[in-house]
Amino acid sequence: MGISTVYFVKDYRNAAKNYSKESIKNILRLLMELDMKSKGIGSREDDVALSKELLINVFMKMK
């Protein structure tokens, strides 16, 4: 991953325990969708509504 500090590796490993590989794929897909919506593609929602949508979906994808 190109992480220069070993300290962060421990944090990434701990965080990875909360998500399955499939969940991570879904979350990345959600981030890509949010990026497109924030640029006006497929949505006219404001940034706050898009952020809420993302957070709700991410927390629903947790183990």
Residue 39 is classified by DSSP as T
- 33 CB contacts (<8 Å, ≥6 apart)? 42
Overall domain count for the chain: 1
Amino acid at 33: E
Residue 37's identity, in one-letter code, is: K
Answer whether residue 1 is part of any domain.
Answer: no
Rounded (5°) CA angle 3-35-54 = 85
Where residue 61 falls among pLDDT bands split at 50, 70, 90?
low
Question: pLDDT class for 5, splitting at 50, 70, 90?
Answer: low
Taking all residues of the chain, what is their mean pLDDT, rounded to a whole number? 78
pLDDT at residue 10 tops 60? yes
Q: Residue 41: inside a domain, yes or no?
A: yes
Can you tell me the mean pLDDT for 29-45?
83
